[in-house]
Amino acid sequence: MDSLCLKDIRLYNFKNHESLELSFSDKINCIVGRNGVGKTALLDAVYYLSMCKSYFSSNDKQTVRIQEDAFMLEGNYLRSDKEEHIKCGWKQGQKKVFKRNEKAYDRLSDHIGVFPSVVIAPKDHELIEGGSELRRKFADQVISQSNPAYLDALIHYNRVLLQRNALLKMQQQSGKRDASLLENYDFQLELYGNQIFNARQAFAQSMQELVQSYYAQISGRQEEASMEYQSGLQDYSLLDELKKRASIDCASGYTSVGIHKDDLQWNLKGMSLKAFGSQGQQKSFLIALKLAQFDFISKKTNIKPILLLDDIFDKLDAQRVEQLIQLVNTHHYGQIFITDTHADRTSDIVKRINEESVIHELN
């Protein structure tokens, strides 16, 4: 298994950091300080260098420091014993630039999966409470870090979907229908949609056993934890269904079927986690899900992702946090980042587990 380590990072006008430069341990790094000093922003910067976007903000305008119009991130990695330099720059009104060893990417998608990372954060609860779009995005982000062909298919599918919807809206307004052009879009949606469907189905099957195993370790219970992939393509041919619903879609101006309607169902003992799971069960399930994500990516890429644990005391009590840190301190995992508001609390737990851990206190 290849190793991955972020040796240092530099932030300029990123979120609430005007300027910040830090060096890191190759194992456990604790980022501590009171609320509002930028602990989560630092973790988000690490994730941004990995995924070309923020984990906590929906667009780049929300990641730049207030009253500024640009930000920059830089990081030096050690990947499979080879030094790598990553630099990202964003400026209002201009194209985002990502460089690896001073060479700019032609496509940002080519960077996804090269420096993989996994985040565990309080906002993950949205995966349970939120709509299906969030769960699809979760699956897409995990699979994309280990399968470039999947990411290409997803980009093409979404582009064709936008074009088809634009055509439907135009035909709805004009009252005229271009069947041949609509059929062309249908063929493309089926092509890319089937690729995405097959990858998502394999992903759900691979994750199932991992989620169950980690849930038992974290919760101390033997309840059956499962995830179910739900897609219309399990019941019909997408091309046939698109043709069947063509009149309905033209009337509504929207594509009503396809993999953009897929969902993931989380279950405990065969029942909906959202409807019947306690707060503790839901927190344990989400952590198990993210650790399963770590295993899925590492097995597919042969690289240990960087693990980012944001405010985990919000999720678990001190005893469970110590169990979790002991779990991820094994050789199975690589570099780890942990944020907390209480320096002493984190330091006491982490130092008992790994003396080589580094504590960074932000003021």
What is the CATH classification number for the domain harbouring 356?
3.40.50.300
Q: Is the domain of 152 the same as that of 283? A: yes
Has residue 178 got a pLDDT over 70?
yes
pLDDT of residue 266: 95
Residue range 15-42: average pLDDT? Answer: 92
Q: Looking at 285, 302, 319, which one is the last position of a domain?
A: 302
When pLDDT is cut at 50, 70 and 90, the band that residue 315 belongs to is low
Q: What is the DSSP string of 245-276?
A: THHHHHHHTS--SSGGG-EEEEEETTEEHHHH
- pLDDT tens across 28-39, in order? 898 998 888 999
Average pLDDT over the chain reads: 91
Triad 357, 212, 275: Cα angle to 5°: 105
Q: Is the domain of 73 the same as that of 220? A: no
Q: Is the domain of 308 the same as that of 297? A: no
Residue range 134-143: average pLDDT? Answer: 96
Q: Which sign, positive or negative, has the C-alpha torsion 153, 156, 158, 163?
A: negative
Is 224 a member of any domain?
yes
Residue range 166-184: average pLDDT? Answer: 88
Is 125 a member of any domain?
no
How many CA atoms lie less than 13 Å away from 186 in the CB half-sphere?
Answer: 20
Q: Looking at 302, 332, 353, which one is the last position of a domain?
A: 302
Q: Is the domain of 200 the same as that of 311? A: no
Residue 146: what residue type? S
Q: d(Cα 29, Cα 333) in Å, to the nearest integer?
A: 13
Has residue 314 got a pLDDT over 80?
no
Q: d(Cα 279, Cα 270) in Å, to the nearest integer?
A: 17
Is 123 a member of any domain?
no
Q: d(Cα 46, Cα 164) in Å, to the nearest integer?
A: 36
- Domain of residue 152, residue span: 131-302
Closest to 215 measured CA to CA, from 145, 290, 103, 309: 290
Q: Is the domain of 93 the same as that of 13? A: yes
Q: Is the domain of 31 the same as that of 137? A: no
Q: d(Cα 150, Cα 198) in Å, to the nearest integer?
A: 10
Share of the chain above pLDDT 90, in %: 74
Q: Is the domain of 298 the same as that of 216? A: yes
When pLDDT is cut at 50, 70 and 90, the band that residue 118 belongs to is very high
Q: Is the domain of 177 the same as that of 35? A: no
How many CA atoms lie less than 13 Å away from 219 in the CB half-sphere?
Answer: 25
pLDDT of residue 355: 63
User: 81-95, 120-134, 153-167, 219-233: which has the minimum mean pLDDT?
Assistant: 219-233
**CB atoms < 10 A from the CB of 228, how many?**
12
Is 204 a member of any domain?
yes
Number of domains in the chain: 2
Share of the chain above pLDDT 70, in %: 98
**CA-CA distances (angstroms) from residue 64 to 89, 104, 164, 325?**
11, 21, 34, 32
Residue range 221-231: average pLDDT? Answer: 89
- pLDDT tens across 49-61, in order? 999 999 999 899 9
Give the CA radius of gyration of the chain: 22
Is 124 a member of any domain?
no
Q: Is the domain of 101 the same as that of 138? A: no
Q: Is the domain of 27 the same as that of 135? A: no
Q: Looking at 286, 302, 318, which one is the last position of a domain?
A: 302
Given a contact cutoff of 8 angstroms between Cβ atoms, the answer to whether 259 and 157 are in contact is yes
Residue range 287-315: average pLDDT? Answer: 90
3-state secondary structure (DSSP) of residue 23: strand
Q: d(Cα 120, Cα 283) in Å, to the nearest integer?
A: 10
When pLDDT is cut at 50, 70 and 90, the band that residue 349 belongs to is confident
Q: d(Cα 235, Cα 229) in Å, to the nearest integer?
A: 13
- Enter the DSSP assignment of 227: E
Closest to 144 measured CA to CA, from 75, 203, 194: 203
Q: Is the domain of 159 the same as that of 293? A: yes
- pLDDT tens across 59-77, in order? 999 999 999 999 999 999 9
Is 100 a member of any domain?
yes
**CA-CA distances (angstroms) from residue 338 to 244, 303, 360?**
51, 20, 10
**Higher model confidence: residue 353 or residue 12?**
12
> What is the separation, in whole angstroms, between the first and last Cα of the chain?
37
pLDDT of residue 92: 93
**Higher model confidence: residue 105 or residue 353?**
105
Q: Which of 172-176, 227-231, 343-347 has the highest mean pLDDT?
A: 227-231
Buried b (16+ CB within 10 A) or exposed e, 106-131: eeeeebbbbbbbbbbbeebeebbeee
Q: Is the domain of 177 the same as that of 145? A: yes
